[in-house]
Amino acid sequence: MHLAEQEQQRINELVAEVEAKSGAQILAAVIGKADAYPEIPWKAFALGASVAALLVILDELLHPDWASVQSAVFDVVVILGAGAALGLLATFAPPFARLFLDRSRAETEVRQYALAMFLERGVFETRDRIGVLLLVSLFERRIVILPDSGIRRHVSNAQIQAIVAQMTPLLARRRLVAAFQAGLTALAALLHDKQPGTAAHGNEIPDTVIEERGP
């Protein structure tokens, strides 16, 4: 689980409050990561092996008289060991792994994950097309807001990106509840008096925040 019980409860309350004020139906979601990124450990391995190989070559140049079969075997072990160590570190230490994450790929993967969740969770099935998905991905530190057509006509892409920009610094500091509060409050302000839909149909999307590990 990514959220403590109190954090879940607070986000659920924020969603309910914004829905009551705006008439929108909001699905909040937190995922661990949007993709497995199998290339990251290999990038780390390559870096470790390359740096170790450079150090080995420098050592051989500085101490040519030490060259032997045993030292050559030792050099190979050092190079492979350094690569393996960084590869394992990238596998089990997300902050280190994030150093090898391609930003454009991360953006694409998180958006694709959000689009899939938008469909799978039926955010588009509200009667007046007033659903909104607000998804936070922890590993990539990315946020995606996907409004359905009933909301989209009241907000622009620039306004959505402005909300994301408010949330991102808070997410970077692992202040998830504060990030959701900032985003939901800004969304409610945008939709105030716009009447994108009606509450007459009841709560069509559960207020409970969704948590998934991802791939």
Q: Say whether both 107 and 184 belong to one domain.
A: yes
Average per-residue pLDDT for the chain: 90
Q: Give the residue, 2 or 133, on which the prediction is more confident.
A: 133
47 and 119 housed in the same domain:
no
pLDDT band at 93 (very low <50, low <70, confident <90, very high): very high
Same domain, 31 and 47: no
Q: Both 109 and 204 in a single domain?
A: yes
Tell me the residue range of the domain where 129 lies: 5-35+103-212
Look at residue 190 and tell me whether its pLDDT is greater than 80: yes
pLDDT score recorded for residue 70: 57
The rounded percent of the chain whose pLDDT value lies above 90 is 71
**pTM of this prediction?**
0.88
Residue 127 has pLDDT above 70, yes or no: yes
Q: What is the CATH number of the domain that holds 208?
A: 3.10.310.50
What is the rounded average pLDDT of the residues 146-164?
93
Same domain, 83 and 171: no
pLDDT in tens, 13-56: 999 999 988 889 999 999 999 999 999 999 999 999 999 999 88
Do 173 and 81 share a domain, yes or no? no
Do 26 and 119 belong together in one domain? Answer: yes
pLDDT category, 198, cuts 50, 70, 90?
A: very low
Across 186-209, average pLDDT: 75
SS3 assignment for the chain? CCCCHHHHHHHHHHHHHHHHHHCCEEEEEEECCCCCCCHHHHHHHHHHHHHHHHHHHHHHHHCHHHCCHHHHHHHHHHHHHHHHHHHHHHHHCHHHHHHHCCHHHHHHHHHHHHHHHHHHCCHHHCCCCCEEEEEEECCCCEEEEEECHHHHCCCCHHHHHHHHHHHHHHHHCCCHHHHHHHHHHHHHHHHCCCCCCCHHHCCCCCCCCEEECCC
Q: Are residues 96 and 107 in the same domain?
A: no
